[in-house]
């Protein structure tokens, strides 16, 4: 979400920027060529910058944050592509669509901090423009199979 970074952090196995979400938050239809992701109250970290997110030893501390609401919708297919690569065991069907997004994220106010940079950022709230104002240059959804699932 831009130069300011909200994310769930890096796991002990070095998987980064992923978190479990309820299955009911995602819909996908190959037939209608559309998908959606609707989230509410997902806990994550406000890590301030992408560099801070990727470096666990970065001096700026992470603080708790919440995605209060996020809605991403993919629809209005502009192109359809299929790809099969038997050598690398990869197969996929993809729809180039348009996407809209609307999001509200907050870093709740916290106790006073000895670190002035941290204190200044607690209590931050990001509210995107409405979904219908989204300008979509590229968006793609699809289904792929690889490796043993090929």
Residues 108, 112, 114, 116: what is their CA dihedral angle, to the nearest 10 degrees?
60
Whether 90 is in a domain gets the answer no
Helix, strand or coil, per DSSP, at residue 20: coil
**Enclosing domain of residue 30:** 6-76+100-136
For the entire predicted model, the pTM comes to 0.76
Asked whether the predicted pLDDT for residue 122 surpasses 70, the reply is no
Question: Which of 6-15, 41-50, 68-77, 99-108 has the weakest average pLDDT?
Answer: 6-15
Phi, psi of 72 (to 5 degrees): -125, 130
- Is position 119 within any domain? yes
Closest to 98 measured CA to CA, from 143, 134, 142 = 134
Report how far residue 77's alpha carbon sits from residue 31's, in angstroms, rounded to the nearest whole number.
Answer: 11
Q: How many domains does the chain have?
A: 1
Residue 108 resides in a domain: yes
Mean pLDDT of all residues belonging to the chain: 83
């Amino acid at each position: 979400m831009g130069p300011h970074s909200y994310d769930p952090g890096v796991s002990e196995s070095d998987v980064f920027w992923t978190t479990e979400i309820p299955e009911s938050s995602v819909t996908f239809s190959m037939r209608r060529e559309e998908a959606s992701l609707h989230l509410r109250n997902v806990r994550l970290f406000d890590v301030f910058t992408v560099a801070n997110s990727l470096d666990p030893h970065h001096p700026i501390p992470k603080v708790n944050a919440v995605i209060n609401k996020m809605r991403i919708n993919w629809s209005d297919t502009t192109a359809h592509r299929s790809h099969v690569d038997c050598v690398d065991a990869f197969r996929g069907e993809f729809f180039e669509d348009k996407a809209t997004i609307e999001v509200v994220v907050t870093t709740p106010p916290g106790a006073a901090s000895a670190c002035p940079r941290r204190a200044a950022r607690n209590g931050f709230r990001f509210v995107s423009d409405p979904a219908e104002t989204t300008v979509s240059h590229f968006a793609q959804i699809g289904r792929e199979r690889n490796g043993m699932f090929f």
